[in-house]
Structure 1
Amino acid sequence: SQEGKVDGQPIILGGKNLTAQTFDLFVEFKFMCPRPSAKYSLDDLKNLLEFVRHFQCSACMLSFVTSCIIKRAYFFHPSELVYLGIKYKIRAIFERGFTRLCEVPLTKIKKSHRVRMGMDTYVAYVYVRSHLDEYIRTVAAEFPPIVHSSSCQDHKGCAEDWAAVWWNGMGRLLLDGRNPRRLDEAIDHFKGLQFGRVGVDCKRHMFSHIMNLNKPLAHSHQFITRVKDRLVHKIIPT
């Protein structure tokens, strides 16, 4: 056969996304120096994933394309990362997408997002969001008890103002109907508020020994991780 040996008889590559541009990117990766991840468009990366699967390319190339997508994860909607992870059976992409998905309020999820992520992922996402929303309401309402420093001269006033600032500050930040803050954002903003009669040393103690532990944030991460690990084993088995 003369296919591929002369210009008049090219090798025909099948697949709707296997364009000459995608093949050029493959040649660039295989025989030259790949460009930095930021230099690839999102379509380039998705087409390269399809190319890798279609032609069963090396694990090295799959790892490179995966790393580029991970580095540019914030340019994709989380549901699209979930979709790509499932379609190409790449756990790292799925896990990044699901973690980011859990940060998105339920009201921001459209029908197209639900279809793209699939029913199993959507059910898990709703379960996580429901739990986290309930937990956030608890965090907003239940302030951590003040631990007074040895220099505090007004325990009663200090405790009252600490509770008031927590409810009016952290509560509003977390439960704002128009612009609710994430836990980490709320904690950072909370530290910059005015604390009234709360002693300087008491506030410093609370920030260093309680707030900086980020217990609410750690709880959220742990819960998401547990659900994500179970889900990925179900959807993308090894």
Structure 2
Amino acid sequence: MNNGVMTNRVAVVTGGAAGWGREIVRAFFESSYRVVINYHSSGASIPGLIEAMGDRALPLKADVRSSSEAASMAQEVLRRWGRVDVLVNNAGVSRDSLLPRQREEDWDDVLKVNCKGAFNMIKAFVPLMKEGGHIVNISSYSGLKGKEGQAAYSASKAALLGLTKTAALELAERGIRVNAVLPGYMPTAMGSGAMGAMERAREDSLLHSLSDPGEAARFIVHIAGMRTLTGQVFCIDTRIL
């Protein structure tokens, strides 16, 4: 609903042009935020998002693995809108393989995107949160429980939880809240064998269903507006931890 209350607020969503990231972008837009849509290689939906969102969308191509590209993106947001209220570190990749077969370059890439990318974005965008703000890191159920064939992905998402809690401790005095969200398995899932994994997730679900991408995205918008919430990990899933 666009009620005009938050029209000056700015949300930055990494990996915002594809999959669940697009749903997160849409949810912030529908809550009257201006939205920075970061993308790297999946930019096919950008023209449609711009058409739907008009001047409240700012698409920026940047590789979150690069600290210089993250910094350049922050400077462009500062030039365009002068502030950032919410940063959602959603960009992520998966290179699934059993541990003995995991290629070192795949391991490195997953850690660079999923964990170092969030680190780079936090460093670049915290200075723009002069009136406080909220950082939401998208982790995973696999980061808590582990998953066969996902050593790199699970390790990266577990590391992201440690980064979340440390950042919450360090940034509290600036009025910046930092939380992590662990979404349930969605139809937007990534990785090889995703269809089979979806069916297994459906079987493991207490409700025998996958998570709804729109509902999960709206949860992020909701907690982003809460001023007395930091250092927490939210598992929005139907599987028992």
TM-score (norm 2): 0.27
Per residue, is there more strand in 1 or in 2? 2
More contact order relative to length (CA 8 Å, sep ≥ 6): 2
TM-score (norm 1): 0.27
